Amino acid sequence: MRILAAMSGGVDSAVAAARAVDEGHDVVGVHLALSRAGGTLRTGSRGCCTIEDAMDARRAADLLGIPFYVWDFSERFRDDVIDDFIAEYQAGRTPNPCMRCNEKIKFAALLERALELGFDAVCTGHYATLVDGPEGRELHRASDEAKDQSYVLGVLNEQQLAHTYFPLGSTPSKAIVRAEAAERGLTVAQKPDSHDICFIPDGDTRGWLAEKVGTATGEIVDRSGAVVGSHEGAHGYTVGQRRGLHLGVPAPDGKPRFVLEIRPVTNTVIVGPKEALAIGEISGARHTWAGRAPESSEYACHVQIRAHADPVPAMARMDEASGFLVVTPETPLDGVAPGQTAVLYDGTRVLGQFTIDRTVSAVPVDA
């Protein structure tokens, strides 16, 4: 096959490209320039897509003996990921930029261009497994559960899965990948994994958002409506947050308060006890299927609401009247925010995903 290997400059994508070469594929490496600041420098494990990353990717491609290119996707990344991130926070939602990047950039813009140029598939260093089932290609969890990235790939659809290649999915551990990189002489063998939001390398999401959308003083209230503090922008908070609230009025029982809801229209943050974070139902209109859709309108599954959260047994159903996919977990979910992504599983197989629009508390307001 002709394979376009997306090379981030990290160890996983370098080894993935190397394995594709070993298997006899015609491989071309490409690094995506996603930042308009071309001289951006990397700091430890924070950030990605920096000038150092591009150079690391080029060195790996040279060692593998494959052609290498840098493609400027920065405008598309700004429009589809960064601007979406800002808009979602302004709307009081908690977005997942990694999901949007996979959906809009790596497996949409990049894959579209790859197919136009005659490539058969895009290869990445994600830890997930593809299985050719009786009804088409299926996306499954990786062998290494600790590194499994099927959650952030839940946005891939049937057509995208048909042109995707994950060489690391069956690898038992990341340590094996690093050892293999060292044996191959790849200089990225011990390079730290990137984490946090790549376009906020210092990790200060609240400060970054304040620079983009400004500040506006508002009230922090409890569930009865009593004012217990103030803030300088509701966009700087997320459901489940405990730290950094600086409340002036302690709770009657002396227990910590957590962010329960964000109301951007009134610039208000609602806080309450940890128990009130328990969610008994989630639903959303924007849903996709990773391969064939479930045959029944109601079915058992597991739901996962964060990349490293434990999957929870649940029942899912399609509400035909509203067009919402509704999921009721067997045990309440903790601290779910609108804007998060819920990924549904059948065993190890990813069924699909939806963006959470509505949540229903498992705890009455007066509890």
Identify whether residues 236 and 333 lie together within a single domain.
no
| Tokens 């040279």 belong to residue | 62
> Of 272, 290, 315, which residue is a domain's last?
272
Identify whether residues 180 and 223 lie together within a single domain.
no
Encoded tokens for 19 = 């394995």
Which of 354, 101, 85 has its CA nearest to residue 238?
Answer: 85
CATH of the domain at 268: 2.30.30.280
Confidence (pLDDT) at 363: 76
CATH of the domain at 84: 3.40.50.620
pLDDT at 180 over 90: yes
Confidence (pLDDT) at 364: 66
Which of 342, 15, 333 has its CA nearest to residue 173?
Answer: 15
Give the chain's domain count: 3
Model confidence, pTM: 0.90
Residues serving a catalytic function are 101, 198
Identify whether residues 146 and 43 lie together within a single domain.
yes
**What confidence tier does 41 reach under pLDDT thresholds 50, 70, 90?**
very low
Find the largest Cα–Cα distance for the chain: 68
The domain in which residue 180 lies consists of 2-184
Identify whether residues 173 and 61 lie together within a single domain.
yes
Poorest-pLDDT segment among 21-25, 56-60, 146-150: 146-150
> Of 203, 237, 272, which residue is a domain's last?
272
Which of 24, 22, 19 has its CA nearest to residue 1?
Answer: 24
Confidence (pLDDT) at 36: 62
The answer to whether position 206 is within a domain reads no
Highest mean pLDDT among 41-50, 199-208, 337-346: 337-346
Segment 132-175, tens digit of pLDDT: 988 889 999 998 887 899 999 999 999 999 999 999 999 988 99
Please compute, for residue 24, the number of CA atoms within 13 A of its CA located in the half-sphere on the CB side: 0
Strand partners, 27: 3
The answer to whether position 346 is within a domain reads yes
> Of 223, 252, 272, which residue is a domain's last?
272
Region 83-112: mean pLDDT is 91
Residue 100 — φ and ψ, nearest 5°? Answer: -65, -35
3-state secondary structure the chain: CEEEEECCCCHHHHHHHHHHHHCCCEEEEEEEECCCCCCCCCECCECCCCHHHHHHHHHHHHHHCCCEEEEECHHHHHHHHHHHHHHHHHCCCCCCHHHHHHHHHHHHHHHHHHHHCCCCEEECCCCCEEEEECCEEEEECCCCCCCCCCHHHCCCCHHHHCCEECCCCCCCCHHHHHHHHHHHCCCCCCCCCCECCCCCCCCCHHHHHHHHHCCCCEEEECCCCCEEEEECCHHHCCCCCCCCCCCCCCCCCCCCCEEEEEECCCCEEEEECHHHHEEEEEEECCEEECCCCCCCCEEEEEEECCCCCCCEEEEEEEECCCCEEEEEECCCEECCCCCCEEEEEECCEEEEEEECCEEEECCCCCC
Encoded tokens for 266 = 């009134």
**What confidence tier does 194 reach under pLDDT thresholds 50, 70, 90?**
confident
- Mean pLDDT, the chain, integer: 90
Segment 271-321, tens digit of pLDDT: 999 999 999 999 999 999 998 888 888 999 999 999 889 999 999 999 988
Confidence (pLDDT) at 271: 95
The answer to whether position 196 is within a domain reads no
